[in-house]
Structure 1
């Protein structure tokens, strides 16, 4: 009986590969898939991973950063992937160095670094083997626009020792050794023919000059420090100096354009002075007596100045009373004294106290 039940249960179990109601389809075994499709997908995924690894700096989350431009008069050996440093700390790398007309354009990318609108850039020597890096000095009162390059006026290139030694080798190779030896022979003969006292005097003068320079060491150091300070001040005021020179150039240009008008103005002033001189000369006989008479009138007025002041002082009350008398419209304030002599005596005539209308 138990064997029959076991066979019945095995008969009811669904066969492999046939889904039962409510169950997912079994996954197809990896071994039974098409190997060509699996290989193509695997190669594509590996290519994407390799590209992402190679261009990881350009990815938005992993790489990032802001790309700026700088103009240099020469590349000075700077290459892509060289470091970009601020205060000795690496903040990015150079992405491209290309020729743009009469200057070199350097593209560089920085991350998590503020770059001002007056930032200066300089190519510096990083190692004794000649490797370079780009050094930034971020200054300004606003952030630098990435589309606006740092001009060549705010960039500088290094002093390349390798190039100098190459030039030195070329110069030394071009020296005529025969002429140099002849020059040394002439110098030796000249010194030999010179009096020992003259040579001694020359060396004494050089020694005195050296001692003087050594005794003035502090003053020379101070002079160089002040010169450095002046150079820094001029460097900080370079924009204002350029503006001043530009405005001066504009003023000179305007004066040059108006030189004809200025020349005519000066010519007119000269002609006016000639005409005034002639006018004075022609009217000298008329103006002379008139000025003499005016001088005499002024003398009389000055001599009688006291009397004129007394007259003006006495005339003031008179004109004030006259104005009070005639200033009442159609009526005049007045009084009659001595019309009836009865009861009056000479000298007793007095104005009424109420005004006597």
Structure 2
């Protein structure tokens, strides 16, 4: 029985249990309780073992279950809300060049505890339901009677407040029904806690992917801008060369367009000539060829200039 009890309370043993336990001091609990998660960069690395009040501050014992996590000597801790219904967790922010050893304490100066809006709204609903509306109406009526004649503007304003209080008192049952429906809506949200958390997690992943794509597009636009600047510089530096070259190219295109019909006719005639030449060359062991004006010096000059050194 002693061995079983010791194994179930291993983290509480004085020499063994504190081997992976660090302490964090907070100005307030912020809804934190034992069993809540301890996270680093969104990943769970441990659990909150205990939360106690000591000397006006809240001290939480954090049991680290991930042996690979590295925490610096200036590590910060803050209480965060992980669900819409106010489930809390401790998020550690590693910092510092040293190491945070087991048993060390993160002081209040390096911790942050948010105000629990869920608890505040619950207290507001409870306290609002306990207001004596009849006494409130009498108090407002008395204050209205005292200040009725003070100023011309104050009297109508107080009468309006009196009408509002009477309307609230007259609709007591409707307000109670509204609060009851709000309670049922809260119960439905509590039952759908996991689904809502999964939806928020998926939305966070989507926004992270969109942010990554945005950074890629920004880098692409910056590269395109750099390329445009370089091309503009090249054009500015080679204006004297590019301008005449483009004009000459336009002239060549105009000549080709003017002689397009002649070029097409030449290609058509060359096809017939090549066909006839192939037929003639393939019908016997030899063939004769005649090139007109071959002996003309003007014709031989380009050929000889390419052959002779």
TM-score range, shorter chain: 0.3 to 0.5
Higher relative contact order (CA 8 A, sep 6+): 2
Q: TM-score of the superposition, structure 1-length normalised?
A: 0.33
When normalised by structure 2's length, the TM-score is 0.38
**Bigger Cα Rg:** 1
